[in-house]
Each structure stands twice: as C-alpha cells, then as structure tokens.
C-alpha cells in the first residue's frame, strides 16, 4: 500500500482523465490519495473528486501565490469546506518568495498563512505547508503560531541543520520527486536524517516528476520511484517504507 499525500488531480493537466490516472496508480500499488487545493475553484474541485472515488481525500485552502486578489467571501466560503467528511486538512498554505519579491505582497502572504493556521487550529485540523525560498520567515511563523494538530512541510526544501526545528514543532516531512534528481545532495541528506515516523511520500503531480521522468507530466503512479530512493537511502525494504509512510499519513490525517 502506498499513500500519495500531496497530488493535484484537480489540475487541468490531469482533470479530464482522473479515473484513468487513479486506476493506473492503483495498478502501481497506490491505494490512497490526498488531492490538494490552491484556491477556491481547485478546493471545490478537490472535494468533488473525493465524492467520486474511494480512498481519495481533500485538502482545501489558499496557496501563497493565490491570496492577493481573493475576496473575503470566497476565502470564507472555501474554508467552510472543512465541514465536508472527506476534507482532512487545510492547505496548501505558506510562503513563496520565488516569484513574489514585493515586500508588501510578502506581508500579505504572511497574513493569510497565519489566518489559515489559526483556522486549522480552531477547527482541529492539520496543515499542509508550502515553502519556497522563504524558510526563515516560514519557520518563525510556525514557531509563533504553532499548528496544534500537526501538519507536513510539503516538499521539504530546508537544510539538514533546520530539520530539527521543524521536527520539534511536531511536523512531518514530505519528500517528492526532487529527492530522486541526480544533483539532489541536500534532499538526500535530509531523507537519511528524517525519523521514519515523521516521513511522508508525495508526488505533487502533475509537477516535479521524479528521475528519470523529470520534465514530464507527473502522476501518482510514479511515487514508486520516490519510494525506491527512500528505501535506498535508508537501507530498508520498500515494503517497510511503504507501510510506515502510509501509517504515518493515516495517523496525521485521520483517515
């Protein structure tokens, strides 16, 4: 059993063939999926997909690049989806400084990040955290506004040295396709250091296809390539890694 804890089946690259994508993943041993929203439309679409498929769950919220023009009505309406029985977390939320250089816009990202952490704490849900080139600010916010029901640092991009700070917050570490890249020195070091009971596997499909599929449209069926690399780095069997990461996901997201 494999659990893809971060996929975007609601992305237009996959949306028109969701049934096929899930079936192909099932054939590859992927049994459970978390479909992650990034704005109102994608969050509602994630929930719709969960209603059509067994063992598919949704994460709803606003990505840091999608908070600048959102209305208060749409923001609140989207977060109200938490009441749906197959919504299991708030995300993906966080900070992204790669594209956002304007200090004012970065402050807006921080505001919505904090608001969504506080909302998750209020309704008793974990969070899925997006961080890109903003690790210090992201970590400072997480320390001040700790996610009380846990969460995952999606596609962990921090250093080995900062890993301990993240683990002390009770957060899990999501590893994705970049772990398999030939030049991925830091992600491989992180993988070696992460305790097994804090590790999750993700594809972030249709993005971040693992080696040797890099540059193609990613799918959940490719999570086996990430599993292979984790097993190699941990010097453990693939079955053991698959079992424990799936158990971790079920524990964190209560599914």
The predicted-structure confidence for 66-96, as pLDDT tens digits, reads as follows 999 999 999 999 999 999 999 999 999 999 9
Average pLDDT, the chain: 97
pLDDT score recorded for residue 205? 98
CATH code of 2-253, in short, is 3.20.20.140
3-state class (DSSP) for residue 235: coil
Closest Cα partner for 129 from 75, 163, 174? 174
The packing angle between helices 238-253 and 223-234, to 10°, is 110
pLDDT score recorded for residue 238? 98
Residues 177 and 214 sit within 8 Å (Cβ to Cβ): yes
pLDDT score recorded for residue 70? 97
pLDDT score recorded for residue 4? 98
Backbone angles phi, psi at 131, to 5 degrees: -140, 125
pLDDT tens-digit map of 54-69: 999 999 999 999 999 9
Q: State CA 137 to chain mean position distance.
A: 19
Band of residue 218 on the pLDDT scale cut at 50, 70, 90: very high
Domain range summary for the chain, segments of one domain joined by +: 2-253
Cα torsion angle, 144, 204, 35, 225, sign: negative
The conformation of residue 62, written as its DSSP 8-state character, comes to: -
The packing angle between helices 135-144 and 103-123, to 10°, is 40
Closest Cα partner for 132 from 166, 113, 155, 150? 155
Q: What is the dihedral of CA 215, 208, 177, 124, to 10 degrees?
A: -170
Distance of alpha carbon 60 from alpha carbon 96, whole angstroms: 18
pLDDT tens-digit map of 114-150: 999 999 999 999 999 999 999 999 999 999 999 999 9
pLDDT tens-digit map of 8-52: 999 999 999 999 999 999 999 999 999 999 999 999 999 999 999
Cα torsion angle, 185, 189, 192, 195, sign: negative
pLDDT score recorded for residue 234? 98
pLDDT score recorded for residue 95? 98
pLDDT tens-digit map of 157-170: 999 999 999 999 99
Residues 63 and 132 sit within 8 Å (Cβ to Cβ): no
pLDDT score recorded for residue 216? 98
Residues 6+ apart with CB under 8 A from 88: 34, 57, 58, 59, 125, 126, 253, 254, 255
pLDDT score recorded for residue 56? 98
pLDDT score recorded for residue 118? 98
Distance of alpha carbon 50 from alpha carbon 123, whole angstroms: 20
Q: How many beta carbons lie within 10 A of that of residue 178, not counting itself?
A: 20
């Amino acid at each position: 059993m494999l659990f893809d804890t971060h996929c975007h089946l609601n992305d237009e690259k996959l949306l028109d063939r969701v049934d096929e994508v899930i079936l192909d993943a099932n054939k590859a041993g992927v049994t459970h999926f978390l479909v992650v929203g990034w704005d109102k439309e994608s969050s509602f679409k994630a929930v719709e997909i969960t209603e059509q498929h067994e063992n598919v769950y949704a994460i709803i919220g606003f990505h840091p690049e999608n908070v600048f023009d959102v209305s208060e009505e749409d923001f609140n309406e989207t977060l109200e989806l938490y009441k749906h029985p197959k919504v299991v977390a708030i995300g993906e939320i966080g900070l992204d400084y790669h594209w956002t250089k304007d200090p004012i816009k970065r402050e807006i990202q921080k505001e919505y990040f904090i608001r969504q952490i506080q909302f998750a704490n209020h309704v008793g849900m974990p969070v899925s955290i997006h961080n890109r080139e903003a690790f210090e600010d992201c970590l400072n916010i997480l320390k001040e506004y700790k996610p009380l029901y846990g969460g995952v640092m999606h596609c962990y991009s921090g250093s080995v040295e900062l890993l301990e700070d993240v683990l002390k917050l009770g957060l899990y570490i999501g590893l994705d396709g970049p772990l398999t890249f030939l030049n991925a020195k830091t992600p491989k070091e992180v993988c070696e250091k992460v305790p097994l009971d804090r590790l999750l596997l993700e594809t972030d499909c249709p993005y971040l296809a693992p080696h040797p599929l890099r540059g193609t449209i990613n799918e959940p069926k490719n999570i086996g390539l990430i599993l292979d690399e984790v097993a190699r780095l941990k010097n453990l069997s693939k079955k053991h890694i698959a079992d424990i990461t799936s158990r971790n996901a079920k524990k964190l997201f209560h599914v």
